Chains A and B, each alone.
Chain A
Amino acid sequence: AQSVTQPDIHITVSEGASLELRCNYSYGATPYLFWYVQSPGQGLQLLLKYFSGDTLVQGIKGFEAEFKRSQSSFNLRKPSVHWSDAAEYFCAVDWSSWGKLQFGAGTQVVVTP
């Protein structure tokens, strides 16, 4: 069965430090890949997406993600975290390009002073 895995349920990072969130997916073909962020009690905001082309994609709020086909991964990074980055982050995959997303379980990011 197709799956989307975010191995880290919870990450604590100091303000100003770098952040990397992992996302792995199973399947043979390259799906469409997304990262969303959810602040407490809010809807999801799209950070970035990858469909094809350059494997390093830039998103909003200073985030970037790198697609690695050999590792079936799409990891999210930010060089310097701000307190406002504390939120839950979801990786999502569209396997069929029909717009039906499968989400990972999410990674909760806590930012300490």
Chain B
Amino acid sequence: SQTIHQWPATLVQPVGSPLSLECTVEGTSNPNLYWYRQAAGRGLQLLFYSVGIGQISSEVPQNLSASRPQDRQFILSSKKLLLSDSGFYLCAWSGAGEETQYFGPGTRLLVL
């Protein structure tokens, strides 16, 4: 069966520091991968999605970037964190050509 992992689970970082969040999927090949952000009291906002290695689409302009160095690895990064980057970051996957997305456990990021 397929599983999705995210780490770290929780992260506290100072403003201006870099960020790297990792997401990996097991049990499937060539998945579509997604990064979402959930700000406090708000719904989920799609940040990036990827249909293959090195293929990244950005949904909203922001202080973040994403990379997909391997088929089942998706990384969310920032060079300099802002206070507004605080939130709950969720990674998701779907099968190639499929619509249903399955979510990881999330990473809670607090920027101070």
Contact = CB atoms under 8 A, between A and B. Distances in A.
B105 A43 contact: yes
Interface in A74-112: 90, 92, 94, 97, 99-106
B32 A99 contact: yes
Contacts, number: 53
Report, as a range, how many residues of chain B touch the other chain. Answer: 20 to 34
Nearest to A104: B43
A100 B54 CA distance: 18
A105 B100 contact: no
Report, as a range, how many residues of chain A touch the other chain. Answer: 20 to 34
Given A100-B49, A103-B44, A49 B105 contact: no
A24 to B, nearest CB: 14
A46 B102 contact: yes
Interface in B31-53: 32, 34, 42-46, 49
B4 to A, nearest CB: 8
Interface in B54-87: 59
Given A45-B103, A103-B43, 8 more contacts: A42-B106, A43-B6, A51-B99, A99-B101, A100-B34, A101-B101, A105-B42, A105-B43
Interface of B: 6, 32, 34, 42-46, 49, 59, 90, 92, 94, 98-106, 108
A34 interface: yes
A43 B44 CA distance: 11
Q: Closest 5 A-B residue pairs measured CB to CB?
A: A43-B103, A44-B103, A103-B44, A103-B43, A105-B43
A3 to B, nearest CB: 11
